[in-house]
Structure 1
Amino acid sequence: MARNKRLRRDGPLPLILLVPNVVTMLGLCFGLTSIRFTFENQFQFAAGLLILAALFDGLDGLLARRLNASSPFGAELDSLSDFVCFGVAPALLIYNFGLRDFAGLGWLAALFLAICCCLRLARFNVAAKDESDDKGSFTGVPAPAGAMLALFPVTLHLSGLVDLREVPALIALWALIVGALMIGRFKTISLKAMRVSRDNAVYVLLAAAVVIGLMLTRIWAFHVGATFLYVSLLIWGVLKQRRDATPPT
Structure 2
Amino acid sequence: MRKPRRRLSRDRLPFLHLLPNMITILGLCAGLTAIRFVMMGRYEFAASLIIFAALIDGLDGLIARRINATSQMGAELDSLSDFLNFGVAPGILIYQFALTGMRDLGWLFVLIYVICCCLRLARFNVSREEPQGVGRPHFTGVPAPAGALLALVPLFLTAEGVLNLRQMPWLVGPWLALVAWAMISRLPTPSPKAIRIRRDQVAPVLIGMVVVGGLVFTRFWLLMILLSGAYVITLGYALITRKRSGLPDPQ
Structure 1 residue 8, shift from structure 2 partner: 9.1
Distance 2:202 2:28 in 1: 33
**In structure 2, what is the equivalent of residue 206 of structure 1?**
207
- TM-superposed CA distance for 1:214, in Å, is 1.3
What is the match of residue 147 of structure 2?
146
SS of the residue 1:77 aligns to = helix
Per the TM alignment, residue 132 of structure 1 is displaced from its structure 2 partner at its CA by 5.1
State the aligned residue count: 241
Letter paired with 1:80: L
CA distance in structure 1 between the aligned counterparts of 2:36 and 2:112, rounded to whole angstroms: 21
User: 1:81 Cα deviation (Å)?
Assistant: 0.3
Judging changes above 3 Å, is the alpha-carbon distance between structure 1 residues 59 and 171 closer, same or farther for their aligned structure 2 residues? same
Distance 1:15 1:183 in 2: 37
1:174 aligns with 2:185: no
Could you tell me how far 1:91 is from its partner in structure 2? Answer: 0.2
Corresponding residue of 2:137: 136
CA drift of 1:9 comes to 8.6
Alpha-carbon RMSD = 2.0
Cα distance in 2 between the residues matched to 1:64 and 1:40? 36
Match in the other structure for 2:90 = 90
Unpaired runs of 5+ in structure 1?
A: 1-6
* More off after superposition, 56-65 vs 42-51: 56-65
Q: Which residue of 1 aligns with 2:236?
A: 235
For residues 43-63 of structure 1, the C-alpha deviation after alignment (integer angstroms, 9 at most, x for no partner) is 011000000000111322222
In structure 1, the residue matched to 2:73 is 73
Matched to 2:177, the amino acid is L
SS at match of 2:189: strand
Summarize deviations over 1:78-99 as a string: whole Å, max 9, x none: 0000000000000000000011
Moved over 4 A (4+): 132-135
Distance 2:104 2:227 in 1: 31
Aligned equivalents of 1:202, 1:67: Cα separation in 2? 31
Partner of 1:4: none
CA shift at 1:189, angstroms?
2.2
- The separation in 1 between residues aligned to 2:29 and 2:103, in whole angstroms, is 32
TM-score scaled by length of structure 2: 0.90
Counterpart of 1:13? 13
Change (3 A) 1:219 1:9: farther
Code of the aligned partner of 2:245: D
Residue 111 of structure 1: aligned partner: 111
Code of the residue aligned with 1:98 in structure 2: it is: A
Partner of 1:188: 189
Equivalent-residue separation in structure 2 for 1:43 and 1:138 (angstroms): 30
Output the CA distance in 1 between the equivalents of 2:242 and 2:170. 31
Q: 1:246 to 1:45 in 2, by over 3 A?
A: closer
Partner of 2:163: 162
Instruction: Give how far 1:133 is off.
Output: 5.0
Task: Identify the residue that residue 4 of structure 2 maps to in structure 1.
Answer: none
Matched with 1:3 is: none
TM-superposition CA deviations, 1:73-125 (whole Å, max 9, x none): 11111000000000000000000001111031000001111000000000011
What is the CA deviation profile of residues 165-215 of structure 1, one whole-angstrom value per residue up to 9, with x for unaligned ones?
212110101110000000011111210232222343343233223222212
Report the residue type matching 1:73 in the other structure: M
1:142 deviation in Å?
Answer: 0.2
Amino acid at match of 2:92: L
Say which is worse superposed, 213-222 or 131-140, in terms of deviation.
131-140
